[in-house]
Structure 1
Amino acid sequence: MRITLPGSAHIDAVLSHADATSPLAGPGFDPLISRSWKRCIEDYGLDPAKPAPPRFVPRQVLLDHQDQADELLNVARAGVEQLYRHIAELGYVVLLTDSRGITVQFLGHPDDESAHRKTGLYLGADWSEDHAGTCAVGTCIKEQQALTCHHRDHFSAHHISLTCTAVPIFNPQGQLLAVLDISALHSPPSKDSQTFALQLVRQYARMIEDAYFLRRYRDQYILCLDSSREFVLINRHYLLAMAEDGSLLAANTAGRQLLAQCGLELPLRPSALAPRVGVEQLFDCELADILGIPYASADHVRAFRTHRQNALYFAALMEPRRAAPTATAPSSEAPRCALDELADDDPLMRKMLARAKRLCDEPLNVLLNGETGTGKERLARALHDSSRRARAPFVAINCAAVPESLIESELFGYQPGTFTGARSKGMRGLIQQADGGTLFLDEIGDMPLHLQTRLLRVLAEQEVMPLGAEKPVKVDIRVIAASHRDLRQMIDAGQFREDLFYRLNGAILRLPALRERADKGYLIEKVFAELSEQRQRPARIRGDAMSALLGYAWPGNIRELRNVLQYALATCEGAEITAADLPEECLQGVGARQPEAPAPVLEVATGDPGAQLVETLRRHRWNVSAAARELGLSRPTVYRWMKVYDIVPPNAQG
């Protein structure tokens, strides 16, 4: 009796394929797979009957590979995460490998981690063809072509359950830079089922390649070409980097193909000895025509024809990134506004800051809204520093952090002998200390109601009455208040005075959450530079760490970012922060759950707010900290409301 082992038919097919006379070697069989099978047997000496288990490089070796791919990882992160969001629900994972087949970035569902490790679909896996046999990544590297390696296309019987699609990514000189791959543990039997997968991975590989190109040549002219005028500014299919004298320096894959069609080839390494390839050799034009593209028409696009084929292309020109001009005379140099330091290119922030600049010297109080940790105090200080009050005091108080018994004396001050324990000479309150400048009231929603009434008088009369005083004291202050809570809801709930609200919100500025901002990279670098300078310890953030930081949801916003970077600086061994130096929660990647909006605070639409507070406390077994987190309140505020509604924990009842 003949016993057929699992995968034996596949093994027989692979071995017979090594024979050039085999019918498998004839027309109809994928030539990429055919050549790879032959290499596996003849060049690598692999045996399909003895499948090698997945090979993972040691951690330090992986870090070395990630370090060498640092710039690519920085650029590719957004594309890899976006691709994963498209295919995650279909059971695929995403791998980004370097040119040697080592997986330097991986995204997959955590529930399938064991199966992914078992098959090698994981970070640090070696997918080079001479070890793994015919596979999408390894064969893509050898052939430098996109392909799908589906089920029994794989050389090793260990991989025949997988379907993998890989596309090469090239550097601006046309050399293989990386491979983008999506793979699934299970899929339909037909290879045709992966046609869309191949197109999708091609699209994202091109996006990553072009983003890398634009980053590398941002200090040069970049000529963007397309066969359509309407899409040249969006599609930018062909990219050519150009020096000021019109010499072509590099091109993306499509650009190199266009040059080849026109009989032109760029040197692998531009040098003084390499033959010059000028843009005028490609198009029937003068250099001045190219440099004049931004001014040639209303849409900043111009049409050119190639010399050899007389083909029509539409061109747009990206000018080099240039350093900000320096003023020749210090006296003519405009001072940089403190508000400009708070953001880079985030549209929401830029719009808000433009409004803030117009409000700097207006006689209006300002109300700042935003989640906890978004930088409301820093914005308040920047408003102060950018105004005519900049040389006067900036006084800040967190209404949620000061015990209720002290808020009144802290704000309004007191006369000598007003109460037991008071200073013998009395004390000027924070309102008086801010005279001529700015008073910043953080978490204004936590201010007790009776003090809200006194603050309203200060704002209306511009005078303060210290405790124990007989006469009010005139003050000139601007108030900037902030809250992460919905003050309108608090007004409806009877927790905040409506007249005080309208005194405070002469203008409202909203700070977006860190997860909503497009300039997260700028903020990370800025905060990191500040912390490094404070520690007097120069350091840098490596690409894998930056990818993790950019992909994290940041529920604690900028405050949490500062804590994470302080932790990384304190624990890293050298002068470089890697992903291994970050707290574990920052390594959850694209799958990290986005925080929800804060729950409404003590809603009264469905009943008594005191009853809601009791219900929340009971649900958390009278754990005040847990209840405070759910309600979006500080612990002192919860205790304050417990006192207002006479709520006593069961274990404290006599």
Structure 2
Amino acid sequence: MQTDIEHIREIEGVSQQGHGARDPVVVASWLRCLDKHGLDPAARAQAYILPDAALRQHRQRSEDLIRIARSGIDDLYKLVAGQNYVLLLSDSAGVTVEYLGEEAQKHDLRLSGLYLGAEWSEARAGTCALGACIETGEPLIIHQSDHFDVTHGGLSCTAAPIYDTAGRLAAVLDISLLSSPVARASQFLALNLVRQTARRIEMANIMAESRSDWVLRLAGSPDFLDVDPQAALRLDAGGRVIGMTNGAARLMARALGQDWRRGTGLIGRHVSEVFNLDLDTLEGLTRQRAARDRLIETRDGYRLFAHAIEPRRAAPPQVARARAIPSELREFAGGDPAMRSLVERAAALAPGRMPLLIEGDSGTGKTSLARLVHAVGRRGPFVTVACDSLAEDEAAVLFGRGDPRGHVPGLIDAAEGGTLVLENIEELPPRIQARLLPLIGEHSFRPVGALRERVATARIIATSHGLAGSGLRADLIHRLSGARLVLPPLAKRQDIVALASRVFARAFGVPVAFDAPAAAALANHDWSGNLHQLAALAQMLAATCGSQPGSGITLGLAQLSPHLSPHLSTGDAVRSDSPAILHHLLTEHGWNVSAVAREMGVDRTTVHRQIRRYGLSRAAPSTASRGSVFRPRA
């Protein structure tokens, strides 16, 4: 067995001569480690495991691939688990995003780097199967002393690349041993297993993406064409290649005289440029004919059996069902038509990740609506930032700070996986606005003093009194304006009397009603302070009027009039044509139009005409109508 000194001297010899007795793949990797990465063969490097936050970002970017690869890697691990192999799936940066290994070996595996979150890029770990596979794009074995770093001399690693349908390296699949037989040939079977699994994962990926396109699957044998094809192409309706497995990329590149590693040069080529067939003959390659009769030939004379899979027909259009509005949002809307329309849009936007802008005057409930959107659509923390409290030099409070000893988190990190609310975003200092652009547009941000950007998983909700004429950057306004909710002032809400009943009931601790003149006073007041002003009035009257525990209370014009304007007489109430008064009377009378007409002193047709004019409708019973109270926020 080679000693550490002998290993270092062998690498130095390769450096001087430019070649060696080992596999050319190993020699080329050693030279890259020396010349490209500047690594020292005499230095012992410990395994590097990414911090949890950084690992989560890598796994989130790879979650679609992990989901598709799950079945394939589980099956592969079952085949090799009894022989003490550990399975690693890395992303294109060499970071292990999925890991399967024996629990009894967990400690030793972590120390050696065969573990979740370990980075195996060539620049970090030297010659290794994962890193060399990323560099070359080829399946390979790095066995024991093939490794550049002497600390990895006991490992035997076998890896194969996984490509996306655009021809880009997406991941690397690796199976490794802490200790193995001395002979390198002992891993040839492992190499074939890993290569086959990677090919099947690529096949599953292209089939998942091709539900509405032609797929041309290819194999050298008709018997395995349908069960285990070697390559596949995804074709658009015009016969042009819009996706491929790596096996298909190699076929195309050879026929076209190109480099298969440059996948972008293959996408968009017509299938007739590669094979002796055209779009019209694809239908003859479906299962309607026996597999042995579906023989095609590439332009460079390579013969294959083909299986063309037709696009799935679009399902007949279905009548859209009304979106179910969560009870929390129904309560927030109350009985106002404009608010019902607004919460329907909020419910549709709640599950997504796109930034949301909520506008409205002070006290209309912007932060309350943001909290409800978060509760309906997401899990995780709910973090609010008062933008007017941040100074120009306090960007680190929001974005965190890069530090040689590790990232110092900010409020964006605190909201990871949840919602970050930027209250009164128009008050944000200009320099911080500029740093905010990538967060809103690309879900990424750069901590103060850091060299690299970080991925943000928090959903961004901004609130504002109004962006028109504000000091907010135009490009930031454009990015925020795609999903916009505008809360109406309290004075324009048609359910103001019912809303006031709920707010007053919370302050008094008992049900509260209003006589007709008091209701008219509430409906005709300007409410410049919106819900804050309404809540303050309720608390003041509760402190001065009092109530009997367990009993309700009816407030009249005498109690409200000194605090509201304009002052109304008793006779003004029923003569008002305010939609809020009409809504209140309809609710009070259980939508008995005749009773409302009698109280207003008009005929029934007038009431019906006003109902249509104001767009009033009888709201379904909700928790709001059973005495629950809306809690006003900014």
TM-score, length-scaled by structure 2: 0.49
Rg larger for: 2
